[in-house]
Amino acid sequence: MIRSFLPPWWAKNPHVQTILPVFTKIKPPVLSRQRLELSDGDFIDLDWVGDPSNASSIIVILHGLEGSSDSHYIRRLLRDCHRLGLCAVVHHHRGCSGEANRLARSYHSGDTQDISHTLQYLQQHFPQAQLCAVGYSLGGNVLAKYLGELQDNSAIERAVVVSAPLQLSACAKRLEKGFSTLYQWHLIKQLREKLTDKFNDRTIVNEASITPEQVGTLKTFYQFDHQVTAPLHGFEGVDDYYTKASGFSYLANIKRPTLVMHAVDDPFMNADVIPLTHQCSTDVTYELHQYGGHVGFIDGGSPFKPRFYLEQRILHFLMTIG
């Protein structure tokens, strides 16, 4: 029986929900790494727990912006999968596995080609396994878009989308206000560092629309996405990118059982990401919680050892039959 989500009194602040988990990482199980080579000369790294050759199901995990299998939410899910004897694999977005990707381009919020490649590989090599998926934040947007694009042809049978910025423009604007600007500053700093490394390695020199000296002037997601993300990935500009990459409009086309979870107090987004009933297909279960922050959902324990709602909710939904 799944318990309902209710945070303790000390975790009702959205920033406690968002930040505290980062500082309470647990030890994950031992993972095995696999590299998939891509037709464009780049690669994707997968981190595995469990043996896929004998698995009846595989849980495919998509991390958020600048995340990895080392992210706090990924560690916890992998630990619980290991405890339950479930097979799971982390699909790393390009350049997020600890090694820079080879091309000037990397990944973006609407990039469903790479996850499609990973899923096709899994179907081909482990045909006995049902594929389930969970996507967090940016990875959740990618997952929602993939499910809506593929519809009945989706390789994924059940999915969970957590704290996804389904309206990218609205979320970018939200991160320019109040305390949320600190999250933006932290993430933009990481993106600028990676961009600088690519200039230093000359990976991006011939394809960049800015100079190395201009990298430091990129302060917001709007600026970074307009001057870096959009041109490197074939979009006309930031507005074209945000419109085409946002997962919101794809919710109505999803043909697989999918749980979408948001928190009202998420500091990364606003009410624009919250769909009305008619904007979701009948296969979408939408849960809007009053509290939870961004990929937080602490529901007990203590500030020194918090307990989380996310993993049990995710696994309960993914492992439900029918």
What CATH number is attached to the domain comprising 83? Answer: 3.40.50.1820
The per-residue pLDDT for 321 is: 61
**Whether residue 252 is found in the same domain as residue 234:** no
**Whether residue 144 is found in the same domain as residue 211:** no
Catalytic-role residue among 47, 109, 294, 299: 294
Tell which of 245, 268, 298 closes a domain: 245
1 domain-assigned: no
**Whether residue 88 is found in the same domain as residue 129:** yes
Tell which of 215, 245, 275 closes a domain: 245
Tell which of 227, 245, 263 closes a domain: 245
Average pLDDT over residues 313-319: 96
Which tens digit of pLDDT belongs to each residue from 90-125? 999 999 999 999 999 999 999 999 999 999 999 999
d(CA 29, CA 129): 21
**Whether residue 189 is found in the same domain as residue 235:** yes
Q: Cβ distance 135 to 104 under 8 Å?
A: no
Domain count, the chain: 2
- List the domain range (segments joined by +) for residue 55: 9-166+247-318
Task: Give the confidence band of 4 by pLDDT, cuts at 50, 70, 90.
Answer: confident
d(CA 155, CA 125): 13
Q: Cβ distance 87 to 49 under 8 Å?
A: yes
pLDDT at 1 over 90: no
Task: Give the confidence band of 199 by pLDDT, cuts at 50, 70, 90.
Answer: confident
Which tens digit of pLDDT belongs to each residue from 279-315? 999 999 999 999 999 999 999 999 999 999 999 999 9
d(CA 69, CA 253): 29
222 domain-assigned: yes
**Whether residue 210 is found in the same domain as residue 271:** no
Q: Cβ distance 312 to 180 under 8 Å?
A: no
Catalytic-role residue among 137, 154, 163, 246: 137
pLDDT at 83 over 90: yes
pTM recorded for the entire structure? 0.95
Active site residue 80: no
Angle between helices 113-125 and 138-150 (to 10 degrees): 70
Catalytic-role residue among 91, 266, 289, 299: 266
Active site residue 266: yes
**Whether residue 106 is found in the same domain as residue 15:** yes
2 domain-assigned: no
Active site residue 56: no
**Whether residue 64 is found in the same domain as residue 175:** no
* Torsional class of 293: left (φ above 0), alpha (ψ -120 to 50), beta (otherwise): left
pLDDT at 128 over 60: yes
254 domain-assigned: yes
**Whether residue 188 is found in the same domain as residue 50:** no
**Whether residue 213 is found in the same domain as residue 98:** no
**Whether residue 80 is found in the same domain as residue 122:** yes
- Any residues with CB less than 8 A from the CB of 283 and at least 6 apart, and which? 254, 255, 256, 257, 258
Q: Which of these ranges, 13-17, 87-91, 205-209, has the smallest mean pLDDT? A: 205-209
**Whether residue 74 is found in the same domain as residue 121:** yes
The per-residue pLDDT for 212 is: 86
Task: Give the confidence band of 205 by pLDDT, cuts at 50, 70, 90.
Answer: low
Percentage of residues of the chain with pLDDT beyond 90: 90
